[in-house]
Amino acid sequence: MDNILPKPWELHPALVHFPIAFLLGGVVLLLWAWWRANEIQHRVAAGMLLVGMVSGWLASTAGGLAYFTVPAHTEQGHVLMYWHLGFGLAMLILFTWLSTVSWRGRTTAATKLQLTVALCGVVLLMLTGYLGGLIVYHHGAGVNPNILAPEIRDGHSHGNNEQHDVSVHEH
């Protein structure tokens, strides 16, 4: 059995489910609290959004670590990582604003601007997750290199012994 400690690139997928759950749940509860004019539910939604935002930044930091340590993946997967990063940062900025405003005003109903930002954040969250799935499941990022096709496994590195293959990319 290999070392049971996670590899650096394995931290991101281990953490990313927490912000997904808390942010989606927080938005659903925020909408429900707004519709029902329920202060208690709005307070809980604000707390969920805050936890989702904090755990999102932690998962994002782990994603940065994964970017620099992940083993072989396709070149297209590498390009998609930039889109994943961009959508993820935009989403986190929206949810940081939303969670801050919601927490400060947790005794009052959400405004239409907050609800709009929440829905835009959910769309960005879904796009970010979709791209993350593509990067792993279709482009091999984070997959054990020993089980990948040779053209992906033997890609190029950015070290001193650079090899070039247009189909793959390895950090």
Tokens 């340590």: give the residue. 69
> How is residue 33 written in tokens?
């609290």
Q: Kindly report, residue by residue over 94-136, the tens digit of the pLDDT.
A: 999 999 999 999 889 999 999 999 999 999 999 999 999 999 8
- Give the whole-angstrom CA distance, residue 165 versus residue 171: 13
Q: Kindly report, residue by residue over 36-58, the tens digit of the pLDDT.
A: 999 999 999 999 999 999 999 99
> What angle (nearest 5°) sits at the alpha carbon of residue 78, between those of residues 81 and 164?
165
- How is residue 144 annotated by DSSP? -
- Give the whole-angstrom CA distance, residue 44 versus residue 50: 10
| 3-state secondary structure (DSSP) of residue 137 | helix
Looking at the predicted structure, is the pLDDT value of residue 160 above 60?
no
Beta strand residue intervals within 22-90, DSSP E: 73-74
Q: In this predicted structure, which of 49-58, 142-151, 155-164 has the lowest mean pLDDT?
A: 155-164
Task: Return the domain boundaries, the chain.
Answer: 8-143
Stated pTM of the model: 0.82
What pLDDT was estimated at residue 156? Answer: 39
- Give the whole-angstrom CA distance, residue 23 versus residue 11: 19
Looking at the predicted structure, is the pLDDT value of residue 161 above 60?
no
Average pLDDT score over residue span 68-85: 88
